[in-house]
Homo-oligomer: A and B are copies of this chain.
């Protein structure tokens, strides 16, 4: 029996940790052309992935990532007790449509771009607490579905300011089990909603940075650690603007993370050659980088002990049109290879 224990105010420690026994990522053309291109096992060069609509394509990305994760884990869908799935679309339809055919007990999650970390934590709760032997997580985003839902029809060709981020077309999936070989989930900190009053839909990084700083500070306090205790601290999709703010906020609290921090939104694209403005974002950003790059690096020994913190902006076009600011959140997991 795995035991979950609370430490400090906001963090939980998994005794005999849940193990990530399989993982998979699927991305689109632009992501394949980026610096991590060779890391992703499945690439769809057609943005519709052979489907009639982009929404169906996004579901297809999820299915590919999930099937790849199941294959590595050596499990079939009937071995998985729960699937935690989420995406950015209204009513998270990419998830419900992608998971419709698998027959796995389904629990839809919504934390915007933080959903991959939220799903990992939910799966770790289920597996660590005994409710599941094995659980899966899958999240996705798609530039074409997100852009027309959140901003403008693609055909309109709206010009985006330099603070805006490019929604990653991709998905990531992980299988978490009570035992087995793989990366372990050691600690988790669930974030609180933070809203500093940012209303600019084209500057999500600025809205999310305080949430990321808040969660990381709580985690450091709860565990009595700092950046030096980890190989690296990865954020999900702060982009360049958010990263600058995040590092400054952490510095104000006495944590110098300049040489420890990397952002998945800055890792996935080459901003000097790819026109993505402030960097990548989306449920598929942190998910595909985690499942395409970070988990393999932990398994191969390139990394040993990392913090992975996915960030999310919890507004909708409706709330923005009503003048509301952007509530943000960040969830953290500590992943180790020993």
Q: Are B93 and A318 in contact (CB under 8 A)?
A: yes
Which listed residue, B96, B106, B324, touches A97 by the CB 8 Å rule? B324
B residues less than 8 Å from A121 (CB atoms): 107
Q: Which of B1, B4, B105, B192 contacts A131 (CB 8 A)?
A: B4
| Chain B hits for A324, CB < 8 A | 93, 97
Partner of A129, one of B104, B106, B129, B329: B129
Complex contacts, A107 vs chain B, CB 8 Å: 109, 111, 118, 121-122, 190
Asked if A112 is at the interface (CB within 8 A of a chain B CB), the reply is yes
> Is A81 interfacial (CB 8 A cutoff)?
yes
- 8 A Cβ contacts from A16-55 to B: 52-53, 55
Q: Check if A314 is an interface residue, CB within 8 A of chain B.
A: yes
- State in angstroms the CA–CA spacing of A17 and B106 once bound together: 23
Q: Is the CB of A190 within 8 A of B105?
A: yes
Q: CA of A195 to CA of B101 in the docked complex: distance in angstroms?
A: 9
A143 within 8 A of partner (CB): no
Stretch at the interface among A83-91, A252-260, A274-282, A286-294: A83-91
Question: Is A232 an interface position by the 8 A CB rule?
Answer: no
Task: Among B53, B131, B193, B315, point to the contact of A99 (Cβ < 8 A).
Answer: B193
Q: How far is the CB of A316 from chain B (nearest CB, A)?
A: 4
Q: How many copies does the complex hold?
A: 2
Q: Is A133 an interface residue (CB 8 A)?
A: yes
Mark contacts of A58-70 with chain B using CB atoms, 8 A cut-off: 1 yes-contact digit, 0 otherwise.
0000000000000
Query: Which B-chain residue is minimally distant from A103 (CB atoms)?
Result: B192
Residues of B within 8 A of A82 (CB): 190
Q: A10 within 8 Å of B by Cβ?
A: yes
Per a CB cutoff under 8 Å, which of B97, B108, B112, B191 touches A111?
B108
* CB-defined contacts of A190 to chain B, threshold 8 Å: 82, 105-107
Q: Does A3 contact B (CB under 8 A)?
A: yes
A329 in contact with B106 (CB, 8 Å): yes
Are A90 and B131 in contact, CB atoms less than 8 angstroms apart?
A: no
Expressed in whole angstroms, the Cα–Cα distance for A315 and B315 within the complex equals 20
Contacts A/B (CB < 8 Å), 12 sampled: A3-B130, A6-B132, A12-B131, A53-B322, A55-B322, A91-B319, A96-B314, A104-B192, A107-B118, A107-B190, A108-B109, A110-B110
Please name 9 further chain A to chain B contacts, defined as beta carbons within 8 Å, in addition to the given A90-B90, A92-B314, A106-B190, sorted by A numbering: A1-B3, A6-B131, A89-B316, A90-B318, A93-B315, A106-B329, A107-B109, A108-B110, A125-B129
The 5 closest A-B pairs by CB, nearest first: A129-B129, A96-B314, A105-B190, A91-B316, A108-B110
